[in-house]
Homo-oligomer: A and B are copies of this chain.
Amino acid sequence: MVEKIHAHAGKILRVNLSNGKITTEPTMRYAKNFLGGRGINQWILYKEVKPGIWPFDPANRLIFGTGVFVGTPAPTAGRLSIDSKNVYTGGIGSANSGGHFGPELKFAGYDNLVVQGRSRNPCYLWIDDDEIEVKNAEHIWGKTTWATDDLIREELGDDDIQIADIGPAGENLVRAACIVSNGARVAGRCGLGSIMGSKNLKAIAVKGTGEITVANPEKFMQLVDEFRERILSNNGMKRLMQWGTNYILEISDLSSGNPVRNFQDGYWDSKKVQKLSTGALEKYIVRRLACFACPVHCSRYLKISNGPFKGTEGEGIECTTSKDFGCKLDIDNLPAVIKAHILCNQYGLDLSNTAGVIAWAMECYEKGILKKEDLDGLELDWGNYEAVFELMKKITFREGIGDLLAEGSKRASEILGKGEKYSITIKGQELYEVLRRQKGWALGVVLSSVGGGHLRGAPQTESLRISSKEGKKFFGVSTAGDRTTYSGKAKLVIYFENLKAIADSLNLCYFATQYLSPYLPSPKDLAKLFSAATGKMMTGRELMLIGERIHNVEKAFNVREGISRKDDMPPERFFEPIKSGPGKGERLEKEKWTKTLDEYYKLRGWNVKTGLPKRSKLEGLKLGYVAKELEKLGKLA
């Protein structure tokens, strides 16, 4: 029985599935330098997962992390960071999900959970406050994530426990496999579900009864109220409340910013967009849903009552779904897109990594590289959603062509020895974002330490078109709102990379730190909240320094694995112009890109030519250990 848990000083739980050893250590050992959540996860990963330990090795770690604010009423701070080696890139893997699992883990007394080793038989982990048990999961193996939740809740006789689990995709080591909690909140990217599967770990169930205490409750609650007010009055957040994220599909189309037919174009027929629009979605919405402590309720519970998909229901869809399964595969049938979303959640497949490899297969089919007979008889025409469902099943169970597609488009094309130019990946991971119009956004996505993705350095200042005065004031970058220029974007991306490292280490929602001061909290605001929670004085500058440290650790891990500046290029496709729509003709320019990389590496204090970290920078960040190690490996600048 746990009673009072200090927001800033819980424990790290470590479970070795190979030999059943269970230990704890104080979070404070790492919190000073790495804050929490993603920061601590990544540091443990760097220290313990050395080169030559591969994703599916027992010695790989799968690390779950919460953060100081998690479990408190701090709005949106109910998230969970999951970190491990990346099955796509070989570098760091990192993903983040909402829901209620993170806070529950913290109520049980654990800021972080390190899973290592590999169980001999399928198992699940049962964390009941300080009673930890590795339980047999033979009877659950093979089940969908939803059935798994039901079976475990029934077995443990408690409907209130929180569960993070994998579906059959994870069990079958499909690279696109994700980790799902609440049946719909997903840590999607980097193939973390397949790593969980490689450990024969079907699920983690948690029940926590502790209460989170903060150092200065009065001050903390005052700041929390202010924070909530700012969220509720923010325009971007209002749109999320009203429509969920799906509205972004419509907005993106206005600038030809959609990944149409595997990124071949950016503009999707407006009639098709309308069919997947927020308006069209209305009639399927049963109710609005939110993650723990979040006032926004951006999620929707959907139910299809008529037609061929009658009976399909569940939480969804995101703009990720309508872009990935909508325009990327050219499916303009909303019920089919909803169905694809639900299937992903049940199989435990990441939306983007799944749609990405299917889009590749569809383009290969279009170009005659893959033929019907290569595809177990499927006709992979754009928009053929029945074939897409069939492929999703084949990928999940590695049936027929699914066994190849389960490796992702990059490896699949390498294995086939063809179709490599249609594999739209960054560092090997399927891409979600379109990278032509917004130069800073493109830079942030491509530089992301996980292999693509807009959740790290990509600035939304461009799509918000903030004024040059605001840009100057908040980031020292007057062009922050100007999507057309590369100028200043290196500096801007660095700002967001550092900021997001903090946000993920405190486990605040992406959206809550994206729409920016004065609308939403600045680093200084976060530092104040942190100080009230922990009783330790913290400044915005200090926080950003921690963010920089975390980013440097991730960079060093990637460098150690052979990922370097050469991997910071966008796919060739984005140097070709958009073919239609308002953004027609827009593209990235190789020369400017390269120059911007120069600038980025210079500002980062890394070697401009090789991209390797410098000793001075690492030591300045108190990462002398990292410098020493990279030097030994010949990978220090």
Q: B-contacting residues of A (Cβ < 8 Å)?
A: 16, 18-19, 21, 48, 50-59, 88, 90, 116-118, 120, 141-142, 171-173, 198, 397-400, 402-403, 406-407, 410-411, 414-415, 428, 562, 566, 634
Contact = CB atoms under 8 A, between A and B. Distances in A.
Nearest to A398: B18
Contacts of A402: 19
Given A120-B171, A171-B120, A173-B118, A397 B19 contact: yes
A428 B53 CA distance: 12
A580 to B, nearest CB: 32
A415 B56 contact: no
Contact of A52 (B18, B59, B403, B411): B411
A121 to B, nearest CB: 8
19 contacts: A16-B403, A18-B172, A18-B397, A18-B403, A19-B399, A19-B400, A50-B415, A52-B410, A53-B407, A54-B54, A56-B56, A56-B57, A56-B198, A58-B406, A59-B403, A59-B407, A59-B411, A120-B141, A120-B172
Q: Which A-B residue pairs are the 9 nearest by beta carbons?
A: A18-B398, A54-B54, A56-B56, A50-B414, A19-B399, A18-B403, A58-B173, A59-B407, A19-B398
A141 B273 CA distance: 53
B54 A56 contact: yes
Contacts of A142: 120
Contact of A562 (B407, B415, B562): B562
A566 B90 CA distance: 22
A403 B120 contact: no
Contacts of A50: 411, 414-415
A610 to B, nearest CB: 13
Given A52-B90, A117-B403, 12 more contacts: A18-B172, A18-B397, A18-B398, A50-B415, A51-B414, A52-B410, A52-B428, A54-B57, A56-B57, A58-B172, A118-B173, A566-B634
Nearest to A142: B120
Contacts of A18: 172, 397-399, 403, 406
A562 B16 CA distance: 31
A253 B50 CA distance: 37
Number of copies: 2
A196 B116 CA distance: 21
Contacts of A634: 566
Contacts of A411: 50, 52-53, 59
A21 B400 contact: yes
Contacts of A54: 54-57
Contacts of A57: 54-56, 173, 407
Contacts of A428: 52
A187 to B, nearest CB: 21
Nearest to A50: B414
Contacts of A407: 53, 57, 59
A142 B121 CA distance: 10
A172 B17 CA distance: 11
A55 to B, nearest CB: 6
A611 to B, nearest CB: 15
A398 B58 contact: yes
A577 B540 CA distance: 58
A58 B19 contact: no
Nearest to A406: B58
A503 to B, nearest CB: 30
Given A90-B52, A562-B562, A117 B398 contact: yes
Nearest to A57: B56
A415 B50 CA distance: 6
Contacts of A16: 403
A512 to B, nearest CB: 35
Contacts of A120: 141-142, 171-172
A176 to B, nearest CB: 13
A568 to B, nearest CB: 15
A562 B403 CA distance: 27
A141 B122 CA distance: 13
Nearest to A168: B120
Contacts of A116: 403
A562 B634 CA distance: 13
Contacts of A118: 172-173, 398
A55 B141 CA distance: 23
A397 B400 CA distance: 34
Contacts of A566: 634
A198 B58 CA distance: 10
A193 to B, nearest CB: 14
A561 to B, nearest CB: 9
A330 to B, nearest CB: 28
A90 B399 CA distance: 27
- Max chain B Cβ within 10 angstroms of own Cβ: one of A57, A88, A410, A414: A57
B172 A59 contact: no
A76 B198 CA distance: 40
A173 B58 CA distance: 7
A57 to B, nearest CB: 6
A116 B18 CA distance: 25
A50 B409 CA distance: 13
Nearest to A410: B52
A414 B53 CA distance: 11
A403 B19 contact: yes
A588 to B, nearest CB: 22
A69 to B, nearest CB: 32
Nearest to A402: B19
A631 B487 CA distance: 34
A136 to B, nearest CB: 13
Contacts of A414: 50-52
Contacts of A198: 56
A421 B116 CA distance: 26
